[in-house]
Structure 1
Amino acid sequence: MKVLLTGTSGNLGSRVLQSLLDLNLVPASDLIISTSSPNKVAANAKQNDIQIVPGDFTNPDQLRKSFANSKADILFLVSYPSPSVDRWLHHKTAIDAAKQSGCMKLIVYTSLMFGGKTGMQSVAGVQQAHIKTVDYLNQSGMEYAVLREGIYAESWWLYAGFQPHPLPQGEKGKIEFVVPDDGPVAWVSWDDLGEGTAKILGQLATGDSKWIGQTLNLTGPGTSTLQDVARLVEEHSGRKAEVKLVGKEKAKEYHLQDGQKEEWLVSSWVGWFDGIRDGECEVVDPLLGELLGRQPKGIKDCAKELFTPH
């Protein structure tokens, strides 16, 4: 089956593409890249002569024509890169285009590991677009699989209060995580998510139907709180790290005071912590390890790379 890939210039999608090629999970001749920025298409796609088609989620007419002309059987729909609930409208456009294409039979959608075991009940604003998208997939009449990608270990800096990343060399002062709240998170690495997701796609592309209609949780091997992350930062940076839990309003005020961050971003960010506090991100599922044939890397396994100043 032919697989049309979106999001291949992003941190997750680029690793999915790399794993599909490196592990020969889907022949390059059966891969198609949909993109709104052809100049950003990865070199490995060009080297393997992968077909590239237009893919602007904000242009429904273009997307419908592009999907239909691709003759793809499977759409790999990477969630639109925005924390706003409005991004679900871009997902709706892609789902509609897939349904109207006449060729696509299956949509594989990447959701997020907020919302506990199912992802369908969450107090975090960042999960609302995913909930709306999965509801729409249910109503679409299309076959689908939902892949709930775990919280990226590499994004620790964002959850920890917009820390510089990598941590700069030569600084000695205390690092402060000024955040609304804290809770357990099953962090996992980009590389392992990319490979595990690619293996699911590869199985589906061979006609294996066992994942169809399912919601799959791809998580790290255990949980760590921001307090735990602070201890890892201290261990690998040699600097003191303190977590300050100040509530949503004070955290928002603190991170807007330098004028460097956009209000909509900080407003979205503070809302994540209601879900984290309530344990929405603490689910640990063995599936990713089973797909990889090894234990996936959590934040402790990535600590030296993430927290050593350079």
Structure 2
Amino acid sequence: MNYRTVCFRLWIISLCLISARTVLGQDRIRLGLSSISATSGSIWVAEEKGLFKKHGANVEVIFIGGGASRVVSALLAGEIQFSVGGGDAVIRAAMRGGDSVLVFSPMNRGLQRLIVRPEIRTPAELKGKRVSITRFGSAGHLAFQLFVRKWGMRPEDFQIVQLEASPAMLANLEKGGTEGAVLTMPSFFVAEERGYRTLADPAEMDIYYLQNSVDTTRSYLKANRAQAIRFGKGLIEGVAYFKKYKKESLEVLQKKLRIQSAQEKDVKYLDASYNLLAAKYYNPTLYANPKAVETSLEFIVATEPKARGADAKSFVDESVIREIEASGFIKSLYEGEYR
């Protein structure tokens, strides 16, 4: 083999390597999380157990933080291809002319609970008192407004305090800084165990809102439909795997929540969180609940008048899920009925 032949072959190999890197870079899907909590368990399972890769999706799950509005901003800026957060943010962005759209909904309802001091037994007894939430505009804030509306009261009837995170809210409740707190798991398990009372639970009040929607842009879907299908299969199988394999899923939760509070790392509370998600909250099909979308629109009206009378379906693209379901993929994961 002469020198010219060797050089030519090396040149061909170099071109192939460069092309492969370019394709991988283009095909990479960045999925941004607005927070770190057990509610992202099915997504982490899909990542850790290679379910995205199994379906040909090169997915990088990253933590962005700052709430749903921030991840949707990153989505619209092209920094990520999919975002995970409270669904009202993606609807607000669309109302303002953004290209955002809700595609998947891993959870079929919200799971915040309003926890109060033991001596408070009714909403009337909480009126005028201090209630903590993470921040204004958060899923917890929306949940509290829904509770209040269900009671025929107004948010102005209470003193709302922002305390950033459920563990901090529980600590403040115990110190007497507030009389109520809108907590997520596992903090509400801890509170109930310590004798605090659950005054409101969406699951018991027929209340629906978008806890964790997975969103993208319409332009991305149009240009990368095959990628979105592969990504969607990974997400859907992540939910199925989470429901079926408790031990392995708990191991993933322990790994991913290692930097979180002691409450979240406690195996007893992780186990309770898993049971609740697997049995009651995770949605096998990932279709968004129309009631949840309508709820978001009702509350957006206050700041986005155009939301009044808007069609909830216009903010959701179900075509990817419908295609996956029509192929028999979801049914194959559950070996029969799954709805």
TM-score, with structure 1 as normaliser: 0.31
TM-score, with structure 2 as normaliser: 0.29
The structure where helix makes up a greater share of residues is 2
For CA contacts below 8 A with separation 6 or more, give which structure has more relative contact order: 2
Which entry has the higher C-alpha Rg, 1 or 2?
A: 2
